[in-house]
């Protein structure tokens, strides 16, 4: 069965520091992979997605993610975190081509001044 694991429930980083949020997936075929961000009281915003091609994907707000098939991972990175990046981050895998998404449990990012 498809599944997504986000090993870190909560991460705290200092403003200006680099960030890496981990995501591991279980899926039999080539996955479609997504990262979403959800700020308190806000809806889901798509940060980036991987369908095929270059395994390093650039997204909005300075985020990037790298697909590593050998490690079944799709980690999200940002070189310098801003206070406004504090939010909940969700990794998701697309199950087949129906559009069904399987989400991880999320990682809460706190940014220290």
Partner 1 sequence: GAGVSQSPSNKVTEKGKDVELRCDPISGHTALYWYRQRLGQGLEFLIYFQGNSAPDKSGLPSDRFSAERTGESVSTLTIQRTQQEDSAVYLCASSFQGFRGYTFGSGTRLTVV
Interface with partner 1 by CB under 8 A: which residues? Answer: 4, 32, 43-44, 46, 49, 51, 90, 92, 94, 97-106
Could you give the angle at the alpha carbon of 32 between the alpha carbons of 22 and 81, nearest 5°? 35
Rg (Cα) of the chain, in Å, rounded? 13
Beta carbon nearer to partner 1, 17 or 60: 60
Beta carbon nearer to partner 1, 18 or 55: 55
Q: In angstroms, give the least distance from the CB of 44 to partner 1.
A: 5
Contact 22, 77 (CB under 8 A): no
Q: In angstroms, give the least distance from the CB of 56 to partner 1.
A: 20
Beta carbon nearer to partner 1, 46 or 60: 46
Q: In angstroms, give the least distance from the CB of 25 to partner 1.
A: 13
For the chain, list the strands marked E by DSSP: 3-5, 10-14, 19-21, 24-26, 32-38, 44-50, 56-58, 64-68, 73-78, 87-95, 100-103, 107-112
Beta carbon nearer to partner 1, 51 or 83: 51
């Amino acid at each position: 069965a498809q599944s997504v694991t986000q090993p870190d429930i909560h991460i705290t980083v200092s403003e200006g520091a680099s960030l890496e949020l981990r995501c591991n997936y279980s899926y039999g075929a080539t996955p479609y992979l997504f990262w979403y961000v959800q700020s308190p009281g806000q809806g889901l915003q798509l940060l980036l997605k991987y369908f095929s091609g270059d395994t390093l994907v650039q997204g909005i707000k300075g985020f990037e993610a790298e697909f590593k098939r050998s490690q079944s991972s799709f980690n999200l990175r940002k070189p310098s975190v801003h206070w406004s990046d504090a939010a909940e981050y969700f990794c998701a895998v697309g199950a087949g081509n129906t559009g069904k998404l399987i989400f991880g449990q999320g990682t809460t990012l706190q940014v220290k001044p």
